[in-house]
Amino acid sequence: MEIFAILVCIFLFLSTLVISFPFIKKNKPTSKPKLPPGSMGWPYIGQTLQLYSQHPNIFFASKQKRYGEIFKTHILGCPCVMLASPEAARFVLVTHSHLFKPTYPKSKEKLIGSSALFFHQGDYHTRIRKLVQTSLSPESIKKLIPDIETQVISSLESWVSVRHVINAFCEMKKFSFNIGILSVFGNLENNYREQLKENYSIVEKGYNSFPTRIPGTAYSKALLARKRIHEIISEIICKKREQKLIEKVLLSHLLNYKDEKEEMLTDEEIADNVIGVLFAAQDTTASVLTWILKYLHDDQKLLEAVKAEQMSIYEANERGKIPLSWNQTRNMPITHRVILESLRMSSIISFTFREAVVDVVYKGYLIPKGWKVMPLFRNIHHNPEFYVNPQSFDPSRFEVSPKPYTFMPFGNGVHSCPGNELAKLNMLILIHHLVTKFRWEVEGYESGVEYSPFPIPMHGLPTRFLRD
């Protein structure tokens, strides 16, 4: 009986080999990891036009529906793999971040400055990031509250005083730029601020234009303006060094830094990082603020709830005679949830870019060395698996914390946004003053989005501000 059993086993073993052999052979060439599914679109332009002509929800969601959570495409002149799951974002940005480096077009790197932290990784990135993080930590930014309040009040007063409809996004940009200046330089002389503002707007126009050095083009004008900004910052550095500045803002952290060999940062490194932080702070904060105006305007019941929350703080502060305290800004739960939901809904940074530094295999798919990798924050934020009824604006969903890696408006990992607390603080303070003393009407609004380059409400949300 035993011998019979052994013979049966040998027979079964041999028969599985015989049966499976042809499949093993057949499968051999395809067992190598293959590229993810997806379409590469037209030569060179790939699918760039579709990306920037469609609503971002439609472009990414339709691809995910067709191909799944990993798919390839070709945008902005580069082959890319897009990844739409929380695990994939974690893989690229956190657990395997050493396999992917930050990557930006050279033309854009030239306008910001190659020493800015977001172009780097490793030692240099860690050192600069520590300085930026310290200057934007809760400990540092709480000291900025009175200056932010002054800036908020002066912006609101100016919006009311014009009496006609204004482009809300443009105004939010001016406001965010001034706060950026405040967090980088502390109190800065007006003439420097104006010169920086003027040249910054020229750089911005060139940033999203075709990169050619032909004189007169937006890009070549931007390069010249970038040079002027560098000169202005060098002059400010010189002055601040003479004054032995004591304000604990980013510029002073950069100026006072010495590495283990007692070496300081060069003026070039300081200027590039100052320009980089100003750049990272402005359009992002302004876009989200514009969406907040729209979402609150569209939901009057919610606006009333936010107003009630802010009015009780306003009354406690003797109708604005006492300035807001840090603790008060930490205790605005409804307003805070409105901000989180606005960040999720608008997902102004729909994705980020990295570049594979070696061939990487993820979930059986090959990401070839040199290809771009794009974790798709927007898809994750709009996935019904993580957010019930994702297209409806519902701040109450944030009464429960989102699952890990399903909420990444500020990215994640070593390059995540060091300005996130400052951005939220600006929004809280602006909403506080806006709803307690003013009201606003959105006029001639057309639904839809435009790109600035981040998605913003159509025509920058034409708005009229009025005193309440």
Containing 355, the helix (H) or strand (E) segment is strand 354-356
Among 182, 275, 417, 456, binds ligand HEM (CB under 6 A): 417
Q: Closer to ligand HEM at the Cβ: 74 or 381?
A: 381
φ, ψ of residue 89 to 5 degrees: the values are -65, -40
Q: Cα–Cα distance between 139 and 7 in angstroms, integer?
A: 77
352 binds ligand HEM (CB under 6 A): yes
- Cβ 284 to ligand HEM shortest distance, Å: 3
Closest C-alpha among 102, 434, 112 to residue 282: 112
Q: Pick out the residues of the known binding site.
A: 417
Binding annotation for heme: 417
**Closest-CA residue to 290 (of 178, 176, 168):** 168
Q: Is 411 in the site for ligand HEM (CB under 6 A)?
A: yes
72 is an interface residue for ligand HEM by CB under 6 A = no
Residue of 384, 387, 291, 403 lying closest to 339 (CA atoms): 291
φ, ψ for residue 438, nearest 5 deg: -135, 170
Rounded Cα distance between 264 and 266, Å, is 6
The nearer residue to ligand HEM, 181 or 236, going by C-beta atoms, is 181
Contact 179, 285 (CB under 8 A): yes
Residue from 341, 325, 461, 442 nearest 396 by CA: 341
Binding span for ligand HEM by CB under 6 A among 21-29, 190-198, 378-386, 403-411: 403-411
Query: Residues 75, 117, 168, 225: which binds ligand HEM (CB under 6 A)?
Result: 117
Residue 275 lies near ligand HEM (rule: CB under 6 A)? no
Choosing from 285, 290, 383, 463, the residue that interacts with ligand HEM (CB under 6 A) is 285
Count each helix (H run) and each strand (E run) in the chain, helices first. Answer: 18, 12
Query: Counting contacts by CB under 6 A, is residue 419 touching ligand HEM?
Result: yes
CB of 22 to ligand HEM, least distance (A): 47
**Shortest separation between residue 128's beta carbon and ligand HEM, angstroms:** 8
Residue 173 in the binding site for ligand HEM (CB under 6 A): no
Residue 349 is a binding residue for ligand HEM (CB under 6 A):
yes
Widest pairwise Cα distance in the chain:
101
For residue 263, the 8-state DSSP code is P
Cβ distance to ligand HEM smaller for residue 89 or 202:
89
What residues make contact with ligand HEM under the rule CB under 6 A? 117-118, 129, 132, 136, 180, 183, 277, 280-281, 284-285, 288, 348-349, 352, 409-411, 415-419, 422-423
